Amino acid sequence: MSTPALHETSIKALDSAWVRAQFPSLKLQVNGRPAAFLDGPAGTQVPKQVVDAVQNYFLTANANTCGAFATSRANDAMIASARNAMADFFHCDPDEVVFGQNMTTITFALARAIGRELKVGDEIIVTTLDHDANVAPWRALEEKGVIIRQVDIREADCTLDFDDLKRKITAKTKLVAVGYASNAVGTINPVAEITKLAHDAGALIFIDAVHYAPHGPIDVRALDCDFLVCSPYKFFGPHMGTLYGKRERLLQFRPYKVRPATDALPDRWETGTQVQELIAGIGAAVDYLAELGRRHDPSATDRRSALLAAYRVTHQHETSLLARLIDGLLAIPKLRFFGISDPKRFEERCSTISIRIGDHHPTELAKFLGDRGIFTWDGNYYALNLTERLGVEKLGGFLRIGLVHYNTADEVDRLLATLREFHAMHS
Ligand SMILES: Cc1ncc(COP(=O)(O)O)c(C=O)c1O
């Protein structure tokens, strides 16, 4: 990965106490022990700012859009403000931000619209590393005669096989669908480079940034991508999805929509009534991150700079937890680690880890940890191409441990001690 904003020197250490005080649910206890939320990749906890914004919506702005009365106007203003926040988050213009139910639903709708313009024999590229939500919507176009080419991985470190990617991008390629970061093994793909490869071949690029969004800043302008999607519930917001679309692309493709709905951007892509109370929460989630950035770097005045400052400090924190976690995991006998483990290559990965221990079913491990208040995930987390490719699908997949900025070194140590206890009980 090359994200210059993350590599500046002299960054303040994360004020963990302040961060954790913003998240009321982190106080939860399970069987008399504090809950350790290491399940962030499936959805993060929300700061109280998000809870307040959703509540405030119902108290002051609960109406449909574009009415000639106060609560409707307040709702319109709130949606505009959340859209501005997401524009700062993506680094684009507000009319290039589309809200939707979740990433999966948005991607199916976009794929259907793009599919209207494709012909038999056109090709789309997907990858073995991706979540199925960035595979199945494109594979659905096979019904129309579109050919799907799937790029393989290098098994040893779970990175994309670039030679295979370069071979598969040809003049027939119409779109490359690739993830920014793997929700299973944490690999960060060089999406700027892939965008250039796609564009040089005359193809569009669609980036699934769902897993990357809580870990690093997104800059659609610098990437020059055509589409990029992420889900606020993975970056401290509510359960929704958001799409960035380059203006000319959002105008070029024709969404399926009802006739009375406007054809203006971005409305033509936002079918039906949105979950407006949650859009209020999205704006608050972005503002929480900006507030975090300003606290650690008071020189960050505008929201975009404050977001970049936030990611600088959270990245540093997550990387130190990651080093501690991997170090401890690799010392556990019979533990199989998937993906990049060399600290010198940490810029190529984020703080999401998948493991197996001996022949133990990952559900057994997740339950052992869960009963002790440690929340992890087991299975394939819909990264089905990957679990099949690595031969673990039939064995129950992996155990996933996800670290985000509200996690602590104590939680990592507790997890490691509990895994060692599990191993000792079963050896
Ligand atoms: C990398 C990745 N892409 C896509 C999705 C699907 O997102 P959504 O739940 O918003 O449909 C997920 C959800 O886990 C994910 O991790």
Give the whole-angstrom CA distance, residue 179 versus residue 229.
10
Instruction: Give 3-state DSSP helix, strand, coil % of the chain, rounded to 5.
Output: 50, 15, 35
Residue 427, pLDDT score: 80
User: Judging by DSSP bridges, how do beta strands 173-179 and 123-127 pair with one another?
Assistant: parallel
Give the whole-angstrom CA distance, residue 267 versus residue 297.
36
**CB environment 216-231: b (16+ within 10 A), e (fewer):** bbbbbeebebbbbbbb
Residue 208, Cβ neighbours under 10 Å: how many?
28
Ligand 1 center to 178 CA (angstroms): 13
Any idea which residue has 């999205």 for tokens? 282
Nearest to 351 by CA among 186, 235, 208, 183: 186
Residue 4, pLDDT score: 46
User: DSSP label at 424?
Assistant: H
Three-class DSSP category at 242: strand
Q: Give the number of the atom of ligand 1 that is nearest the alpha carbon of residue 241.
A: 10
Q: Does residue 189 contact residue 129 with C-beta atoms inside 8 Å?
A: yes
Give the whole-angstrom CA distance, residue 383 versus residue 254.
29
User: Judging by DSSP bridges, how do beta strands 173-179 and 204-208 pair with one another?
Assistant: parallel
The CB of 241 under 6 Å from ligand 1? The reply is yes
Describe the crossing of helices 409-425 and 362-371 by its angle, rounded to 10 degrees.
Answer: 120
- Joined together, the tokens standing for residue 36 give 């350790």
- What sign results for the dihedral spanned by CA atoms 390, 146, 255, 252? positive
Give the whole-angstrom CA distance, residue 389 versus residue 411.
31
The CB of 183 under 6 Å from ligand 1? The reply is yes
The CB of 210 under 6 Å from ligand 1? The reply is yes
Which residues are 176's β-sheet partners? 125, 205
User: DSSP label at 404?
Assistant: -
Instruction: Catalogue the long-range contacts made by 227-231 (C-beta closer than 8 Å, 24 or more residues apart).
Output: 227/110, 228/90, 228/180, 229/103, 229/106, 229/107, 230/103, 231/102, 231/103
Residue 11, pLDDT score: 80
Q: Give the number of the atom of ligand 1 that is nearest the alpha carbon of residue 182.
A: 1
Q: Does residue 102 contact residue 241 with C-beta atoms inside 8 Å?
A: yes
Give the whole-angstrom CA distance, residue 92 versus residue 226.
12
Any idea which residue has 């401890």 for tokens? 328
Give the whole-angstrom CA distance, residue 297 versus residue 311.
11
The CB of 102 under 6 Å from ligand 1? The reply is yes
Give the whole-angstrom CA distance, residue 122 versus residue 16.
50
**Ligand 1, pocket-test mutation among 44, 382, 384, most atoms within 8 A of CB:** 382
Ligand 1 center to 133 CA (angstroms): 6
Q: Does residue 375 contact residue 403 with C-beta atoms inside 8 Å?
A: no
Query: For each of the chain's 427 residues, which pLDDT tens digit applies?
Result: 444 445 445 689 999 999 999 999 999 999 999 999 999 999 999 999 999 999 999 999 999 999 999 999 999 999 999 999 999 999 999 999 999 999 999 999 999 999 999 999 999 999 999 999 999 999 999 999 999 999 999 999 999 999 999 999 999 999 999 999 999 999 999 999 999 999 999 999 999 999 999 999 999 999 999 999 999 999 999 999 999 999 999 999 999 999 999 999 999 999 999 999 999 999 999 999 999 999 999 999 999 999 999 999 999 999 999 999 999 999 999 999 999 999 999 999 999 999 999 999 999 999 999 999 999 999 999 999 999 999 999 999 999 999 999 999 999 999 999 999 999 999 8
The CB of 131 under 6 Å from ligand 1? The reply is yes
Q: Does residue 181 contact residue 350 with C-beta atoms inside 8 Å?
A: yes
Element (H, E) at 127: strand 123-127
Element (H, E) at 313: helix 303-330
Residue 6, pLDDT score: 52
Element (H, E) at 277: helix 276-296
**Ligand 1, pocket-test mutation among 98, 101, 104, most atoms within 8 A of CB:** 104
State the first-to-last Cα distance of the chain, in angstroms, to the nearest integer.
39
